[in-house]
Structure 1
């Protein structure tokens, strides 16, 4: 058993990414180990993960071809805290409806990301869509099999159109589940034989692929953990800092002045960040436009529109070296 180390495989070997969802991997068994609150042991009033967080963790895990260990810590009397029990029951109720897309499946063929995840079994593909485009249908890459049927499992009608260069999936806005929309596809062959493919990002962030820099990069491995990784619209790559880092900043240059009023930050190994600011450069100084404490796995932060070319995430206090999957900026009317 290994955390996530590279090296020769041995019989019974598997990876155990802790407090984060592992990346897509069909070649080596892995299990994400995650707590339902913030720590392994029980603590009074510990922050409990929402149902949305729990389900998305589960689906990103199985969609990556992994297994999920969701930890609950017993109280001193041996009982599980009532609110944790209630959360587990909510997860169970969801699985009672849609568990055929989880149990006995394999991850893929559409790799998980900020968009959602997919699993497959026999001639079925199960799509779990978290995020929809602002306009138009959801777009998937083409596959080498025909789509014979589509069902919107969470309700409403689904329209699926497959062509040589893409697959479009559309469900009326009023039928899109606020946590995860489930769509079941029937294909012409064994779904597991479809080569895994990444799904293009749908964020619409103005910061995508813009020049970036940071105050610190993990062991100077810029190619793997550089600041550009937080602006590539890919939730499987990340900017990372050296162990023991308690303060750091991550900057992006939009190329020209843009009115920004929303940011989405995805933190790996959350919750390391304890205090942060989103700042813009006014031509002379860095000025805060949002101040916060924890970020979490996916934090969304709104603020009055600020027009500037350069923005940064300034992490003022962290319990351990901060690492960020994505720092996305949006310009919305």
Structure 2
């Protein structure tokens, strides 16, 4: 009997201990912690508009006449599209997740949806692009994510039908449109089980925060662990990189666009950038240099954010060779320097044009962006000292610590590509407050 009582008490004690641990587990073990640890993903903007080489959605009724734009799907036949090759390109770039524009502002759907004929099934190509990418991602260990526009200029029940003309259509019906959205999103979650949903287009007047809250609750009911960005609501950093009130945010993380987000240790964020200038494919579009791309990678991680880097496939389905080559160069850099990116925290220093910092355990990673300078001076870290400084290959780096931390940069790295210096501290680097 005593043994039974002892066993019951032991089991009770264990269950209480597990419950406490479950309540106090670190953010890194949460769904959002897992997402933020990934740091780098591929964005894909693609659709029939690639046949014209103009911007997706925004060129409808502007550079491309509406009737022409809306009928491009009848010609869309990307016979060289290879989902496995696209996902391998992402993986070789060091990307950990992939987000496809299943439906952009123009309303065209890259999957065979049951709720509109304006979809991939009715093109000469006919095959399910969303499904193919989902399968390829699962095979190659990449998280599959879906972009879905809140607005739809093509749909008769959405009140606005043009990016240039914001006149409300009196025949539209927002309630019917919201049901259409819910049906499609349920279809996407049921058929493809996305890791994350990326919304956009919520800035137009017909969409309200109340609609965003309702849709967010609906999605979490369908799939409690699905991650969503904050573009179900009006509160987001956007291209202006605004300071936002996180309590008003509808969604799980903020979305600065074409700009590196601000250092933030409390609100998760993800910056989206284009590898060229346009989101959708454009012939001879100016492409970012490898240096520009690596600066964005380091500054984003240094600000404690993720990077979603966009490519636009060509009309035949291939990613341009020059874009694929640039992505491979980024991946080659990450093979050497990835420990300073993945699974790190940003800070404690604000990134600038000379350097960025990330940290993990007792290590602080100093990303040298300006390789032309010979010395860096950092403000001292309260309660911490640098025990050892070296390049990732183990080569020692000279450090002098007085009222600040003075680092002599190795002459062997001058005028070369961005590199990392590892500063081993005499304590945990992750609990250091932001140093201003």
Scaled by the length of structure 1, the TM-score of the pair is 0.56
Partner of 2:291: 52
The superposition leaves residues 76-128 of structure 1 with CA deviations (integer Å, 9 ceiling, x where unpaired) of 01110000000110000000001000000010112101222000001110001
Larger RCO, structures 1/2 (Cα 8 Å, 6+ apart): 2
Give me the whole-angstrom Cα distance separating, in 1, the residues matched to 2:345 and 2:251.
19
Instruction: For 1:1-333, list aligned pairs within 5 A.
Output: 1-2=230-231, 3-4=236-237, 6-7=244-245, 8-10=247-249, 12-131=251-370, 137-144=375-382, 145-153=384-392, 157-163=396-402, 165-176=403-414, 178-198=416-436
How far apart in 2 are the matches of 1:9 and 1:184?
38
Aligned partners of 1:57 and 1:161: how far apart in 2? 29
SS of match in other structure, 1:192: coil
RMSD: 1.9
Structure with higher Rg: it is 2
2:381 counterpart SS class: coil
- Secondary structure in 2 matching 1:139: strand
Deviations for 1:186-220, whole angstroms, at most 9, x for unmatched residues?
A: 1111101111114xxxxxxxxxxxxxxxxxxxxxx
- Structure with greater proportional strand content: 1
Flag the structure with higher helix content: 2
Query: Quick one: distance in 2 between partners of 1:169 and 1:146?
Result: 13
Decide whether aligned partners of structure 1 residues 178 and 33 sit closer, same or farther in structure 2, where only a CA change above 3 A counts.
Answer: same
C-alpha separation between the residues in 2 aligned to 1:175 and 1:167? 20
Shift of 1:155: 7.8
Unaligned runs of 5+ in 1: 199-333
1:132, 1:138 within 8 Å by CA — same for their partners in 2? no
- 5+ residue gaps in structure 2? 1-229
Instruction: State the secondary structure of the residue aligned to 1:53.
Output: helix
State the Cα distance separating 1:178 from its structure 2 match.
Answer: 2.4
